[in-house]
Structure 1
Amino acid sequence: MNKADLVNMVSAATGETKTVVSSIVDKTIDTIVDSVVEGKKVSLLGFGSFEPKDRSARQGLNPKTGEKIAIPAKRVPSFSAGKLFKDKVQG
């Protein structure tokens, strides 16, 4: 499923126009991204939580040459599925 499919399904389920639903989906995603960028955790009950995680610096290997390279520390987004979501996926 892509964003267009999501907009179509929500539009059909709610009776709202695709334009309105698309705007709501965009603003929801923007708000989640902005909050995680600020270092905040975003929890959606039953769905899951988004939060930034810090990865420490480490050594890696160049697969072509076998040469050691330094991989710098960085911050990455992380998603953890909620219990309800996990239970539904498991059947």
Structure 2
Amino acid sequence: MNKSQLTEAISEQADITKKQAHDALNTITQEIANALAGGDEVALIGFGTFKITERGARTGRNPSTGETIHIAASKSPSFKAGKALKEALNPSV
């Protein structure tokens, strides 16, 4: 499912226009990004938690030349699925 398909699904389920669904989805994703950029976690109970993880500096290799290179430490967004989402994906028998 891509962003356009998600917008259409939201529009149908919430009985709102596609423009309203598009605006709502953009606002949600932008606010999650803003919170992460500010160092905060975003917890959606039952769905999951978005947070920033630190990736340490490391040594890598340039695949074209084989040269050893230094890869600087960086921050990366991560998502941990919540209990309800996990249960929805793995229903018990």
TM-score (norm 2): 0.90
- 2:34 equivalent to 1:26: no
For the pair 1:71 / 2:75, whether they are aligned, the reply is: no
1:2 equivalent to 2:2? Answer yes
Look up the match of 2:54: 54
The worse-fitting range, judged by mean Cα deviation, of 70-79 and 58-67 is 58-67
1:17, distance to aligned residue in structure 2 (A): 0.8
User: Aligned residues: percent identity?
Assistant: 37
- Cα distance, 1:37 vs. partner? 0.6
Runs of 4+ in 1 over 6 A off after TM superposition: none
Aligned length: 91
Q: CA deviation at 1:66?
A: 2.7
Which sits farther off after the overlay, 29-38 or 64-73? 64-73
* TM-score w.r.t. length of structure 1: 0.92
1:64 aligned counterpart, secondary structure: coil
Q: Which moved more, 1:74-83 or 1:61-70?
A: 61-70
CA RMSD of aligned residues (A): 1.1
